[in-house]
Every structure is written in C-alpha cells, then in structure tokens.
Structure 1
C-alpha cells in the first residue's frame, strides 16, 4: 500500500439550491492522518462523499496524487482509495467473510474467485478487526458495532493507500474505538477521518480540520486547533483544554452548566 497525496481544491457542494460546503481547501500529505471535525450539519459527511465519489462537487476538484478522482476509472480508484461510510448498507444475505471479500473486487475480473493471496488478505483483515469468529455469520444479523468492524475490515482488505472514514467509531465500545483508530494510525496510509470525539482525534490524528456551517474554519495540529475560544465559537460550549499528564496530548473537558432547581 503506497500512501497517496490528497488535495481538496476549492470544493463547494450544493443540493437542491442549498449550499452544504463552501469553497473547501485541504491538503493531506502521504501517510498523514487528518481528522475532520465539527458539529452536526457542519458539512463533514458531504465533503467526504466528494472524495469517494458519492457526491459530485458543484465546483472545485478532488485530486489523488494529482489526478482528479472524478476522471479516474472506478476500478482504478478503488485500488487506491477505500471508504468506510457512515450510512449502514442495505440488508443483504452475505456472510461476514463475503462482505470483507468484497474489498478484493477491484483486483478481479468479473466472476473471478478468490485465490490463496486473496484468502490470506481477507483472513488477516478479519483478524485485525477481531471478527474472525464471525466469518460465517450472516452480516445482516450482526450488532451495529460488529457491522462497523466488518466494514472497516473490508476497507483494510482493499489494500488501498488512501482511506476515507466517516465516523468509524460509531456504535463501537471504548476498546474497539481505540483499536480501530490505532489500526488506521499504524497502517501508514493517508487517511481522512470524520470524528465527533475530539479527544480521540487529538490522540490519533496528525491534524484536526474543523468545519462549521459548511466552511473549514481551522486546520492544524491538535494542540493548536483545540483552543477554548474555538470550541466556544464552533460548538457553543464552555470547555477547558488541559495537557494529559501521561500522554502529553491536549484533553478537552466540557464544563457543564450548573443544574437549576425547579420549584414545584
């Protein structure tokens, strides 16, 4: 897997006359892991969809190693960019193994079966996400967290050098959240990860890009971006940012408003 260089150049997206993303610019260096953060409705998922060609930009370009992804053949792009989407897939009668094996499709001709190399890659992906024991289980009967891990395993089996993940920690418990992000970190791929949990973003990402109302309003290392003033402006919360004594990473603690007593 050779990590790619990803560039978002002046991308805007409008749907039914409503602007969802405004003139977004972002550069992700080969091997860099960038978190895309922001409140609900900020435009994170919409921007990510332009990267894996689920939503065509109204204007601007998305470049992978200098090539416009919207001009690349689908099979060729799939060998270089994998996506873990937020929307759950439709119900289909496939086993977990068969879902993960779909990650090998870009390397095959129509109706070509798995060879020994494919099977090894698929089993490695299942093991990496801790779902080997579920290999023959029906995918549509899994819990939300199990499905999420299987879909990450499918992207891993794709062996692409660039990965886009839209809220990959959704439905995952604490341990599997850490495992999934640590795996992305250790793969050495180029990754753009939409995350709500800013503490996880600070722990596993080189940079945090913050969106608000469809615009990129901050971009930089976690220690620079995660400032109380920005959190107050974008998230409208009172938060303290401290340095964790063991990790040396910024840690956000939201200060809750005091409870008001109600008289009966």
Structure 2
C-alpha cells in the first residue's frame, strides 16, 4: 500500500523500482517518497540512472520491477489521459520538431484537458498567455519553434508544462542551455508553483538552493537521500563524483555551497 503521504494530491511514491536492459541494471531498487508540494532534486554523475528513473515516472520506460504511485495509483495501470492531466515532463530532448509556432507548442499543454478536436476556450487562452509571459517567451509566440535557440526551446517546453496545470512536474536538466538569469527564473518558477516536483540537476549549488531534499544516485542506486545540508558533504562528493571539494553554508542564505578544489588546491 502507498504511504499515506503519497495518497494526498500530488504525492509521489517510487517503490523498489528497477530497470534492466539486456544484462545491464540501469536502475536498482530505488525507493523514495515525494510529499505533495515538495521539490526533490535528483543528482549524480553521468550514467547514474537519473534520466532512466525519470522516464519511469512519466511512463516512457516501464520498470522491470517495482511501482511508481501518483496519488496512490500505479501510473502504469492508469489511462494515459489520467496521467497527462496530473503530471508534466520537461525533457532534455527539446520537445521535437513539429513545424509548430511557439504559441502552438505551449498550447499543446492544454490538450489533456480538452476533448478531441476542441478548440481553445477563453480559459485555455488565458492559461497559455500566462505561461508564455512567465517564461519570458511571449514575444516569440508566433516564431517557429524549430528556429529557436536551445535556451529558448527549453523555456518554451517549461511553459508548455506550466500550461498543463499539473499536480507533479518532472524535469530532466531543465537549466540546460539557459543563461544564468533564466536558470534562476526557471527554478524560482517551479519552486513558487507549490506543486510536487522532481528535478534532475547537475549544478549542485542550484539543487541545494531550490530543492527541499536531494536524492543522489550512483550506479543506478540511491546512495544518499535527505536535506541538502546533510547530503552535500566532501565525503559524498569524493566517493560519488570522484572530486575533492569544500562544502560551507553561505553566510547570508545558509544554503550549502560546493567549492571544487582544483589543481594545487587538492590536498
């Protein structure tokens, strides 16, 4: 049975999820709960299994074993439309090239909430306009999506997820291609929505600043799970990332800050 916390709207539970392809274990018995409204950061080196695990959440990669529960329901047993109304995914791939304008790409986020062949109602148009504005892409509304830069495409895909009005957002490296300002804007936006979010991030300082807890993976398994101040330690960074680093609380914010030791700085 799902944890009682996971039965609340937007509660997510990953229970003993494993993914095996051929003779390779990409994800190994991963278990964690994400409380409604919590932001969980997924961290780990390349090849740790983060993207594969995320694909099990939004139903692209079926787990070899285990369950993913949303609001207490196994996402792999529910209709696709049910999941699309509740969970939005922002992927690294950039959303594909459908020959659509930016406005039309964002409008696709409303599709799960409409019947087939329905046009956009006034409420849909208002939601789309708000999403375009909040991601700073309103001035690109009529531009072809495939002509955008990588950073602009990323912002459009986040806007599409926002227009979906989900209970849960799953984001795989959402700050890829974004400049510093838009990295902060995107993460502030997700944080400020008050919805459940699972975000894979390579930048540990951003993860510490915007996530309630961090889940660190290595070799397909969870090796650390907890608040950033407990998870981000020199020992973990040495063992998982194979780097030497110092971790100190920022004097103004109290957020853990990772400083890599390079060259002559390495003890």
Q: Fold-level match, TM-score > 0.5?
A: yes
Q: Would you say 1:11 and 2:17 are equivalent positions?
A: yes
Deviation at 1:110, TM superposition (A): 1.1
Aligned counterparts, 1:10-29, within 5 A:
10-29=16-35
Shift of 1:109: 1.1
1:166-205 paired onto structure 2 within 5 Å: 166-205=172-211
Q: Are 1:129 and 2:135 counterparts? A: yes
5+ long unaligned stretches in structure 1 = 260-264
Q: Cα deviation per residue 1:128-183 (whole Å; 9 max; x = unaligned)?
A: 10000000000000000000000000000000111100000000000000000000
Q: CA contact under 8 A between 2:94 and 2:157: conserved in structure 1?
A: no
Query: How many residue pairs were aligned?
Result: 258
Query: Distance in 2 between the 1:194 and 1:181 partners?
Result: 12
Instruction: State whether residues 32 and 206 of structure 1, in contact with CA within 8 Å, keep that contact through their aligned partners in structure 2.
Output: yes
The 8 Å contact of residues 40 and 211 in structure 2, kept in 1 or not, is answered as yes
Aligned to 2:4: none
Q: 1:162 aligns with which of 157, 164, 168?
A: 168
CA displacement, residues 99-131 of structure 1 (integer Å, 9 cap, x when unaligned):
000000001111111010000000000001000
Aligned equivalents of 1:182, 1:157: Cα separation in 2: 17
Which of 63, 73, 78 is the matching residue for 2:69? 63
Matches within 5 A, 1:234-245: 234-245=240-251
Q: For residues 190 and 240 of structure 2, what CA distance do their matches in structure 1 show?
A: 27
Report the alpha carbon displacement of residue 258 of structure 1 after superposing the two structures with TM: 2.8
5+ long unaligned stretches in structure 2: 1-7
Q: What is the deviation of 1:76?
A: 1.0
Spell out the pairing of 1:1-264 with structure 2 (5 A cutoff).
3-258=9-264
Q: What SS is found at the alignment partner of 2:237?
A: helix
Output the TM-score relative to the length of structure 2.
0.95
Scaled by the length of structure 1, the TM-score of the pair is 0.96
**Secondary structure of the corresponding residue to residue 143 of structure 2:** coil
| Distance (whole Å) between structure 2 residues aligned to residue 144 and residue 165 of structure 1 | 16
2:95 and 2:157 in contact (8 A); partners too: no
- Say which SS state the counterpart of residue 76 (structure 2) adopts: helix
What is the CA-CA distance between 1:3 and the residue it aligns to? Answer: 4.8
What is the rounded CA distance, in whole Å, between the counterparts of 2:109 and 2:205 in structure 1? 30
- Give the superposition deviation at 1:246: 1.3
Q: Deviations over 1:223-244 (max 9, x none)?
A: 0000000000000000000111
The answer to whether the 8 A contact 1:3-1:190 is kept is no
